Structures are given as structure tokens and as C-alpha cells.
Structure 1
Amino acid sequence: LSYIQPCVMFPPPACLQCYTCLFPAISPLDCIKLPQECPAGQRCLSSIATGRRGALELTMYEKSCAIPSQCGLSGQKYISGLNFNYTNVCCDTDLCNGAEHVAALGWGRVTLCLLLALGLLLA
């Protein structure tokens, strides 16, 4: 008797191609989107986070691959002195998370922009 491995009988699911931003983006600038093959079982993620302090409002956009438990989540994250409310949305077709047209800044530039904006508010 020969043993047949289950993965031979049932090929693994195809991996999705999803956009990934090189850096998180602040609107209305654009993230530098690169296609990436996600690990098996992952989905394409788009995340939008909005933070406010007084009249200052910043929106950050992220794109990546995600495990299914990250999909549909909403909550708060704290970045550079601001609380951001975020929402994660996932999709299941190749490059389906490319909808937003916002430009990317590196984390260092994002932090610098946030600190400068906070400095202006506090001055």
C-alpha cells in the first residue's frame, strides 16, 4: 500500500496578489503601492485611520496582506501623541485593495509632520 499525501490530492489555494504601501500615507498624498504575493490564507487589507487634535485632522492609509482575524476590525491606535480611530477592510481578489489614491510619506516624515503640526497647535 502506498500512502497518498493530502496536499497531492488537494492542491493548496492560490495566493493573492495585494498592494502594499511602502510607507503609511497621510491624505491627500499617495502611498507608493507595490504588488506583493501574500502567504496562503491571507487576504488583501486596506486600513484607514483618522486622528484629531483640536482643528487638526490627519488621515493615514495603509495597505497590506492580512490574516483573516484582522479583517473588519475597528478600534484605536496611538501614534505620535494622537489617538487614531481605524477601520480595516479586506477583499479576496488580486490587487483589490488599490482603491484609495493617497500619497506616501515614510514613518520618519509622518512623525515629523505630526510633531510639527502638534507644535503649531501647542504654540
Structure 2
Amino acid sequence: MIMTGPSVSLGLLLCCLPLAVVSLTCYTCVFPAISPLDCLQLPQDCPEGQRCLSSVSVGVRGSFSIVLHEKSCAIPSQCGLRGEKHAAGLNFTFENTCCDTDLCNSAVHLGAPCWTQLFMTIISISLILLFT
């Protein structure tokens, strides 16, 4: 049986159209946070081909240490990385993890008010600047 008519034309047209590329939506932190719960998480549409990233960095200077949590979009080569970076007079070790579904880099949120999150973030940045 050979099909003709509008249904065949529509089928051929749909086969020839390029597939739509859907970008991922990930959480991004406004500032690095000292707890995953303190991150001011804002959804962001990532560029095509990027993944959702969660990064944990531990900064040390003498006996002082601080843990920072970051979230963002990332190119695949940033995923699974571990290493060291230096910022604000601290030596940081970091580990990046990635995921591939919308808003998958979220932390469990216990409903802390936005102002509490902002205050904790400002305190953590102030501590870093104080010890530089």
C-alpha cells in the first residue's frame, strides 16, 4: 500500500526539520555559600551543551578553614574535576560534580528566609576578606 496526499507530505516535512535543542535549566548561586542551604539559588537557562554543576571548595590558611558551595552551568570538561585554586589569600581544594536534568544541582532547602541566606553569605565573604 502506497500512501499519498497531505499526510505523506506532512510526514516528510517533519522528518526533514532539525530537532529542537533544549537547553538545561540549572541553579546558580548569587555568591559562594558556606552551606548548600545558604546558597541564594536562582534558576538559569544554560547555553547549549552545558551541564548543571555543584562545586565544593575547602579553603585553608593556617588553622583557619572555610567550606564554600557553588552552583552554576558548566562546560562538560569542568565536570568531575578536582584540584586546587588560590583566592583571597587562601589555598582551596575543590571538587566539581555535574548532572544532566533540569534543576538537578539543587540542595535540600529547609525554608530558611532569604535574608538569613544573604546574611550568612556576607559573613562568609567578610571572613575571607578579613583573613587576607
Q: TM-score range by the shorter chain?
A: 0.7 to 0.9
SS at match of 2:77: helix
Aligned equivalents of 1:100 and 1:61: distance in 2? 13
What is the match of residue 4 of structure 2?
A: none
Q: How many residues align?
A: 109
CA contact (8 A) 2:61 2:89 kept: no
**Superposed counterparts of 1:1-123, under 5 Å:** 9-27=17-35, 30-99=38-107, 103=117, 105=121, 110-116=124-130, 118=131
CA deviations over 1:68-113 (Å, ceiling 9, x no partner): 1111111111111110000110000000001266x4525xx65431
Unmatched runs of 5 consecutive residues or more in structure 1: 1-7
SS at match of 1:25: coil
Q: Root-mean-square deviation (CA), in Å? A: 2.4
More strand by share: 1
Aligned equivalents of 1:92 and 1:59: distance in 2? 25
Aligned equivalents of 1:28 and 1:40: distance in 2? 26
Task: From the superposition, tell whether residues 34 and 48 of structure 1 become closer, same or farther in structure 2 (CA, over 3 Å).
Answer: same
What one-letter code is carried by the residue in structure 2 that aligns with 1:68?
P
Deviates further, 48-57 or 26-35: 26-35
Per the normalisation by structure 1, the TM-score is: 0.76
Runs of 4+ in 1 over 4 A off after TM superposition: none
CA contact (8 A) 2:57 2:69 kept: yes
What is the match of residue 3 of structure 1?
A: none
Which entry has the higher C-alpha Rg, 1 or 2?
2
Q: Greater relative contact order (Cα 8 A, min sep 6): structure 1 or 2?
A: 1
Quick one: percent identity of the two aligned structures? Answer: 56
